[in-house]
């Protein structure tokens, strides 16, 4: 079983002016805003389009996360200056739909040959929602990724709810009612339970790393189930108390019990 991955730090990036296409009210900067995947970037066409990301410095090995897109395939590319000399990084990537949210997302580990600019090239295709544009809700690069022990289990899904603040109930004189969901993509709250075996799976330095990572509920956390499905990665925030125990005779180990996460949508 593959290891679960967690991170609460992200590479500082910027959306570059060399981006091929940008709708007036949906600028490229929206794509790197991790606070809401619904605040997205849009192209103005559905022909070959490249969103250019300035990585801030020459990079090599990166984990890349794409959320709430409306295209089924794309390529990662690299360039030294962001405007010329583009070359592909690996093969074409296929984006699959998350059956829980009904949206398309993907995470990949990629290797650059020492370049500062990353291109997300969306080739000519019909968007999955038949829109007249391509869309990216969030692009992020998690750093300092911590891997949990392979035996750590995740209960999936733990719960699925829709906040009442995003449901409007209309009442009619006849006594009948109807409920209307607000927004294109409702802010589904999906909670996951992260469980370890008691004093078995998380040991040594990882105890402190994971405790620090999970302590602050305001932190955005990258959570990758790493189970072979490219869509099974999320940006989440911890929900509820962190419960961990450290005791003898297994000094330096921890049992985190259940840790619940809310998906940021």
Which CATH number belongs to the domain containing residue 107 in this structure? 2.60.120.260
pLDDT of residue 259: 64
Tell whether 40 is covered by a domain. yes
Residues 183, 134 share a domain: no
DSSP 185-240: S---EEEEEEE--TTTSEETHHHHHHHHHHH-TTS-EEEE--SS-TT-EEEEEEES
Residues 61, 160 share a domain: no
Tell whether 4 is covered by a domain. no
Residues 14, 119 share a domain: yes
The more confident residue out of 97 and 200 is: 97
The more confident residue out of 51 and 235 is: 51
Domain boundary among 111, 143, 175: 143
The strand pairing partners of 239, in sequence order, are: 260
Give me the percent of the chain exceeding a pLDDT of 90: 47
pLDDT tens digit sequence for 120-163 = 999 999 999 999 999 999 999 999 888 776 555 555 544 444 45
Tell whether 217 is covered by a domain. yes
| Rounded Cα distance, 127 and 137, in Å | 14
128, 135, 20, 2: which is closest to 72 by C-alpha?
128
DSSP H helices, the chain, are: 205-215
pLDDT of residue 184: 46
Residues 240, 131 share a domain: no
Domain boundary among 103, 124, 143: 143
pLDDT tens digit sequence for 186-239 = 444 555 555 555 545 555 566 666 777 777 777 888 988 887 889 989 888 877
Supply the mean pLDDT for the chain.
Answer: 79
Domain boundary among 112, 143, 174: 143
Domain extent, residue 83, equals: 10-143
- DSSP secondary structure code for residue 38 in this structure: T
Residues 168, 117 share a domain: no
Residues 124, 19 share a domain: yes
- DSSP secondary structure code for residue 29 in this structure: G
249: pLDDT strictly greater than 60: no
Residues 189, 102 share a domain: no
- DSSP secondary structure code for residue 30 in this structure: G
The more confident residue out of 38 and 127 is: 127
Please give the average per-residue pLDDT across 36-45, as a whole number.
Answer: 87
Strand, coil or helix: 32:
helix
Task: Report angle CA 67, 68, 69 to the nearest 5 degrees.
Answer: 95
210, 254, 260: which is closest to 236 by C-alpha?
260
Which segment of 14-28, 40-54, 56-70, 198-212 scores lowest on mean pLDDT?
A: 198-212
Residues 162, 138 share a domain: no
Please give the average per-residue pLDDT across 162-183, as a whole number.
Answer: 52
Residues 176, 123 share a domain: no
pLDDT of residue 59: 96
Which segment of 26-35, 63-72, 214-223 scores lowest on mean pLDDT?
A: 214-223
pLDDT of residue 158: 46
Token pair 């690996």 is at which residue?
90
Task: Report angle CA 89, 94, 100 to the nearest 5 degrees.
Answer: 130
71: pLDDT strictly greater than 60: yes
pLDDT of residue 218: 79
Question: What is the value of pTM for the model shown?
Answer: 0.80
Residues 135, 28 share a domain: yes
- The number of distinct structural domains making up the chain is 2
pLDDT of residue 139: 97
Chain centre distance of CA 186: 16
Tell whether 5 is covered by a domain. no
16, 109, 33, 112: which is closest to 67 by C-alpha?
33
Tell whether 244 is covered by a domain. yes
């Amino acid at each position: 079983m593959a290891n679960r991955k967690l991170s609460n730090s992200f590479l500082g990036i910027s959306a570059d002016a060399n981006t091929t296409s940008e709708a007036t009210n949906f600028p490229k900067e929206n794509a790197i805003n991790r606070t809401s995947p619904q605040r997205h970037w849009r192209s103005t066409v559905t022909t070959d389009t490249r969103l250019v990301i300035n990585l801030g410095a020459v990079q090599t090995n990166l984990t890349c996360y794409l959320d709430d897109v409306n295209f089924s395939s794309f390529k990662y590319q690299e360039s030294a200056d962001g405007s010329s000399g583009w070359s592909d990084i690996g093969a074409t990537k296929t984006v699959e739909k998350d059956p829980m949210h009904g949206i398309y997302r993907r995470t990949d580990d990629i290797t650059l040959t020492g370049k500062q600019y990353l291109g997300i090239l969306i080739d000519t295709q019909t968007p999955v929602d038949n829109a007249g544009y391509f869309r990216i809700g969030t692009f992020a690069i998690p750093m300092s990724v911590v891997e949990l022990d392979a035996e750590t289990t995740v209960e999936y899904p733990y719960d699925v709810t829709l906040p009442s603040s995003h449901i409007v109930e209309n009442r009619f004189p006849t006594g009948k009612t109807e409920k209307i969901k607000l927004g294109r993509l409702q802010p589904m709250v999906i909670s996951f339970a992260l469980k370890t075996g008691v004093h078995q799976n998380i040991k040594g330095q990882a105890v402190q790393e994971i405790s620090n990572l999970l302590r602050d509920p305001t932190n955005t956390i990258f959570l990758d189930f790493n189970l072979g499905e490219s869509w099974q990665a999320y940006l989440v925030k911890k929900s509820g108390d962190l419960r961990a125990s450290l005791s003898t005779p297994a000094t330096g180990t921890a049992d985190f019990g259940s840790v619940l996460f809310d998906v940021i949508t």
